[in-house]
Structure 1
């Protein structure tokens, strides 16, 4: 049977067919599924390594449990690609992460088999506790069967504090939850901490049934052996109360480039050559923000021994592996534990260190209480470097970084910066480390190169870059939106308007010159890759109102809501963040008598 034949068969694959398959057919389906995943992710990017590692485990789960009557939860949801394929979505799988196509995470609108849209780690056990409690409390009808709740959680996600809180509750109340511990000894990078050491000891032992944490433990079992995994899962299904099933898998299994990648086994990738695993070339004139972060932090750490980096399982994803090799004692990876990471940084700052917390913008909200009261209340000099800020593309609603500015603007004494290019990012990082209070530097994954050495080495808050101080329209833009603003300014100038521009390197606090310059214009327009509520536009409105400057303000940004997945360019266009849309809004505001 050829690969094409196998792909054709997958197009109509059902759970019923999977359950009826014998060992030979299961092997064929596993190979075909891996082939489909590799080719689809190669075309559009996505989470490759985690999904290659759960093919046989997913097969076994669907053969033992009756989804969706039995609940299958995936933590983190980026390992659900195989689940999508075997639950009737193989024919649409090539549309993965495209606008209008399949989500890269479980999605309730796609299938009844997807119970939750969990794409932030450590949540599955809490969902499971709630569902299992509801099933226990529901009146038992005649002939009703006992529904099982199964949470597949990686060893990396298990380091999250929320997961431990939920596990404590599940065991204490004896809930009917099967915790499938998908142990591949990694999150992005190798899992760290005491839990990782415990799992390593268990992983090296023989399969057994034992009491762990007050519930039944089964394993470890080879997660790439369907028959063995089915046997253990079947025993868990037939057990009353909580059960931990320890399944050992290998990230990137079955695809040599992923198996051989020692950084993260091709965990999350952009487009690549499926035959070789080599990443496609990035756009010309742009630079990895992770490289800029690493180089600048190495420079700062070499000059100041107080500089120390804290990360929540994101060292490689943030571009900090070279820093780790150069300063191994000054980077602390605490696992997927954002709350702990932030308060740990607060303690470091209290003792005179200069901590830098590397975090994805979307995950910053998970530690807002700690940021507000553990860092902010104590006026501590903690720097937060938040990558994947703004509209991020294929990962969808939970991974767009659209609320971080609004969060930080509520922290007294905090400042927020965003660079328009790589050279500016380095200068803002240097300034952030020198600030006396909490500071956020937010940025996209890749940035325009800029001109190294062309501007100041340090760009302290809150000064902006100004181009003109009087005219018809003042365009205030932040980050990469400065390029959108520049293009819109050209169009407006062609329409006979006098246009000034401000580059808001610091979104908060705003530049002291804003009120004076805004008063010399008929209209102020803000352009930001952030939610309109609470972002740069709101800051400008508040500053003008407080100063009694009554110039109309048009805010171009992302509306409040959950932005879907898709490519960045089309999502920006759909939210009015392209030169054409900005130009149209300015002309409409002027023609409508607002200015």
Structure 2
């Protein structure tokens, strides 16, 4: 039996359907998403939750002339399938395939590229103001934002501005009480009260001059269509509150919304996860952080943990379970997280502020002005540093060494393995006069027996991992694994020395002098942008000390890398072990 979805390649075909057939289309669209994501992996729960809303938006609005902006974009799979990408959806997040997020270069239905949260209202408002300036008062601009994202500061900035404009803007709040982890904060409680009809205060969105409607059932497609039809006739800023269930239509995804946000492979018929063989494997770096901070916090009552909305992803959840009064999920609020940590240090606390590398970019001003300028010893733990894989360009943590290295008073450390991560965490809580950024990668490390007794690390020191008489390779962080394997496979491994510099700032200048004098050629290797990163620091050292050695800088090239497995991406830029072996051999010729 042929399905309705088989005939729909763009919203034009969707709009030819009778409204009574849309619930059947919603069922088929859910099945399509489940069947693909079950084998190809990706973000599942968010897209399942907005199937009816997605269909209704494209049914009522004249997309792409009317513009949809999906906040973050985790929930945009249904949108992609309905807008000409159904036949290629199986390539989602695969090398050379569709992006996991809306992307302007991919489709004219993707009005704005996203990947980080809370940008949709500002972008949609900018488009709406532009339309009005051009004399187009009919074009619709719709921002679809979740209850976790709307609590972020930037979303409020957009709402605050929009409320004093006459822009043709519709903000749709997709309220499912969860982001990746459950939503937190006073706004979440306010929205809960609204849903329970116990909210006695004035409506916060009406107070910001929005025409508010809702809350309505986000899975009642007829109710959504009716309300969207009405809102099309109203001018100025409008706000529609829609209640949805994340993971709707897959029992397990509804019951375990955190795990099924991005569940990996699962059985499409039963919904059960496909178990991965993880016996006797090294731990994930995030779990080393999570278990170690609990261990240290039990010994030091001044230690606190902070994460902006990523307790599961950062593994701060372990501390939240065991010492909840000293572990804080502040929601999607990186700027607040940094300055909160700064305030805590002034009162003698020792905050471990765990933020993904790519998300710390959102709090750059706070790192400089609120932390480094005041020499406040905040401990930044930057998870997901380096290339992160299928999430692609918006999530690669390949700029932190560059954007942090120029900041005075800031120490930068990159552990090459789990034991080094434990030891630096132990060291910094003993007493620190400056802030420090500790950056480590996504995924598993290299050490099975990682719970070793703590050992203090001397600040600003590197170490020699291997002796060699001709070529010196300097690495920083976990990329040392690829370097060590590459050297082992070289034609003359005895010719190559390997150093783990550990600190990008301050550099171990004593060690560098000892390296530069006997080695004519130096190669630096980092999983960070080559512009302004670790290699640049070594070049600066050589220039300042008038060294004439030949220096090769290897790292992430000066363009945005798209999605693909970490191994594939390393191969594409020559940072995998095999590519490094060839490079080292060639350099020795």
Q: Cα gap change, 1:305/1:454 in structure 2, threshold over 3 Å: closer, same or farther?
A: closer
**2:485 counterpart SS class:** helix
Cα displacement string for residues 184-235 of structure 1 (whole angstroms, at most 9, x for unaligned residues): 1111222112211221121223999994422210100110111001111111
2:501 is aligned with 1:509: no
1:308/1:356 contact within 8 Å kept: yes
CA distance in 1, matches of 2:454, 2:474: 21
TM-superposition CA deviations, 1:105-127 (whole Å, max 9, x none): 00112211001111110111111
2:246 maps to what in 1?
A: 251
Question: Residue deviations 1:279-303, cap 9 Å, x none?
Answer: 5416663322222111100011111
Q: Given the two structures, how large is their TM-score scaled by the length of structure 1?
A: 0.93
Q: How far is the alpha carbon of 1:334 from its aligned partner?
A: 1.5
In structure 1, list runs of 5 or more residues that go unmatched: none
Q: From the superposition, tell whether residues 160 and 17 of structure 1 become closer, same or farther in structure 2 (CA, over 3 Å).
A: same
State the alpha-carbon separation in 2 of the partners of residues 10 and 521 from structure 1: 65
Greater mean deviation of Cα atoms: 67-76 or 460-469: 460-469
The whole-number CA distance in structure 2 between the counterparts of 1:51 and 1:429 is: 38
Question: CA offsets per residue over residues 34-66 of structure 1, 9 Å max, x none?
Answer: 222223223232211111111111011111111
- The answer as to whether partners of 1:10 and 1:33 remain within 8 angstroms in 2 is no
Matches within 5 A, 1:113-124: 113-124=109-120
Partner of 2:174: 182
Following superposition, the deviation at residue 496 of structure 1 comes to 6.9
The TM-score, its normalising length taken from structure 2, stands at 0.94
- Structure 1 CA distance, aligned partners of 2:458 and 2:196? 52
What's the offset of the Cα at 1:312? 0.9
Partner of residue 350, structure 2:
354
1:102 matched to which residue of 2? Answer: 98
Q: Secondary structure at the match of 1:443?
A: strand
**Residue 192 of structure 2: aligned partner:** 200
In the TM superposition, what is the alpha-carbon distance from 1:447 to its structure 2 partner? 2.5
- Answer yes or no: is the 8 Å Cα contact 1:220–1:247 preserved in 2: yes
1:438 to 435, 440, 458: 435
In the alignment, structure 2 segments of 5+ residues that lack a partner are: none
Structure 2 counterpart of 1:61: 57
Provide the aligned length of Structure 1 versus Structure 2.
Answer: 581
Return the alpha-carbon distance in structure 1 between the equivalents of residues 323 and 453 of structure 2.
28
Cα separation, partners in 2 of 1:129 and 1:437, compared to 1, 3 Å: same
Residue 91 of structure 1 is matched in structure 2 by 87
Aligned to 2:75: 79
Quote the Cα distance in structure 2 between the aligned partners of 1:576 and 1:455. 36
Name the counterpart of 1:266. 260
Distance 1:553 1:172 in 2: 56
1:33–1:310: structure 2 CA closer, same or farther, 3 Å change rule?
same
Taking the aligned partners of 2:322 and 2:232, their CA distance within structure 1 comes to: 48
Counterpart position of 1:535: 533
Equivalent position SS for 1:247:
strand
Q: Deviations over 1:3-30 (max 9, x none)?
A: xx54x94475331332233456323322
The verdict on how the C-alpha distance between 1:522 and 1:454 changes in structure 2, with shifts beyond 3 A counting, is: farther
Q: Deviations over 1:418-445 (max 9, x none)?
A: 2222222211222233432111111122
Q: 1:496 to 1:198 in 2, by over 3 A?
A: closer
Matched, 1:345 2:341: yes
Instruction: Give the corresponding residue for 1:570.
Output: 568
Matches within 5 A, 1:479-498: 479-492=477-490, 494-495=491-492, 498=495
Partner residue of 2:34 out of 38, 56, 68: 38
CA contact (8 A) 2:405 2:504 kept: no
Shift of 1:515: 2.0
CA distance change for structure 1 residues 378 and 126 in 2, over 3 Å: closer, same or farther? same
Q: CA deviation at 1:268?
A: 2.5
Cα pair 2:487 2:584 within 8 Å, conserved: no
Deviations 1:127-183 (A, max 9, x none): 11110111001045xxxx610100001111111111101111111112110000111
Match of 1:303 among 285, 299, 303: 299
Q: Pick which of 527-536 and 29-38 moved more.
A: 29-38
**Whole-Å separation in 2 of the counterparts to 1:556 and 1:117:** 29
Q: Who is 1:500 aligned against?
A: 497
The residue number in structure 2 matching 1:417 is 413
Asked if 1:549 corresponds to 2:547, the answer is yes
CA-based RMSD: 2.2
